[in-house]
Structures are given as structure tokens and as C-alpha cells.
């Protein structure tokens, strides 16, 4: 096995590792939010109880999407073609937009939670 082949396999393993990390973050966040949703849903009947759960899930999704974007950037870092650069630009735009809207929703929810805490 030549040096180039070893580097290529190592590079592919690195990209796969970052992708898996992103998927694990999203999965853990979704599982944790689902568990909290069930537990809190049984204890309380108020919709306000679910806002912190949504905020936490949003943070997990945002972090997971960042890992996925990092994997896409790594994938195209070595001798990219114009097609790969275009695909990366489209993926980065979509994921950045998703992150923007998730972050905006998280900020809005945090303000609502903070406002409810001061009012109540």
C-alpha cells in the first residue's frame, strides 16, 4: 500500500468520523428530547414545560449540523472539482440557513422563557 493510498484512507476515515460525530450529536439530542418530552408530558400538562426541551433540541441540532458542514468541507478540501465546490456551496448555504433559523428560534424561545419567569 503506497503513501497516497494510506493518506486517502486516513482522510476518508477522518471525514467519516466527523460525519458520525454529527449524526451522534443529533441522535443523542433527539433521544434526550424525546425522553424528556414523555417524562414532562406525564408530569405536567402545560405547553410551557416543553419550551426548554425544544431549546435544548435546537442546540443539539445546530451542533450536529455544524459537524455535518465540517465533514462536507473536509470532503472537498483535497483536490476539489468545480462540481464538488458547487455542491459544497449549496450544502453550506442550506445548512447555514438552517442554523440561522434554528438560532433565531432559540433566541426567541429564550426571551419568552425569560419573560415568563419574570412575569410569573
Q: Cβ-count burial of 75 within 10 angstroms (0-12 exposed, 13-18 middle, 19+ buried)?
A: buried
Q: Tell me the average pLDDT across 56-60.
A: 89
Enumerate the H helices of 1-120 as residue ranges.
3-43, 50-77, 82-119
Q: Yes or no: say if 31 and 70 are a contact pair by the CB < 8 Å rule.
A: no
Is residue 74 over pLDDT 80?
yes
Q: What residue numbers bound the domain in which 25 lies?
A: 3-119
Q: What is the pLDDT of residue 67?
A: 93
Quote the pTM value. Answer: 0.73
Is residue 4 over pLDDT 90?
no
b/e for 33-68, b at 16 or more Cβ within 10 A? beebeeeeeeeeeeeeebeebebebbebbbbbbebb
Total domains, the chain = 1
Q: pLDDT digit string (tens) for 78-114?
A: 767 888 888 888 888 888 888 888 888 878 877 877 7
Would you tell me how many other CB atoms lie within 10 Å of the CB of residue 18?
Answer: 19
Amino acid at each position: 500500500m503506497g503513501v497516497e493510498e494510506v493518506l486517502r484512507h486516513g482522510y476518508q476515515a477522518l471525514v467519516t468520523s466527523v460525519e458520525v460525530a454529527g449524526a451522534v450529536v443529533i441522535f443523542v439530542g433527539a433521544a434526550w428530547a424525546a425522553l424528556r418530552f414523555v417524562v414532562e408530558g406525564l408530569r405536567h400538562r402545560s405547553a410551557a414545560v416543553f419550551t426548554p426541551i425544544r431549546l435544548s433540541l435546537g442546540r443539539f441540532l445546530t451542533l450536529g449540523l455544524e459537524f455535518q458542514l465540517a465533514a462536507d468541507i473536509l470532503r472537498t478540501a483535497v483536490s476539489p472539482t468545480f462540481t464538488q465546490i458547487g455542491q459544497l456551496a449549496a450544502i453550506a448555504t442550506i445548512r447555514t440557513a438552517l442554523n440561522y433559523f434554528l438560532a433565531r428560534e432559540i433566541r426567541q424561545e429564550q426571551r419568552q422563557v425569560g419573560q415568563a419567569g419574570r412575569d410569573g
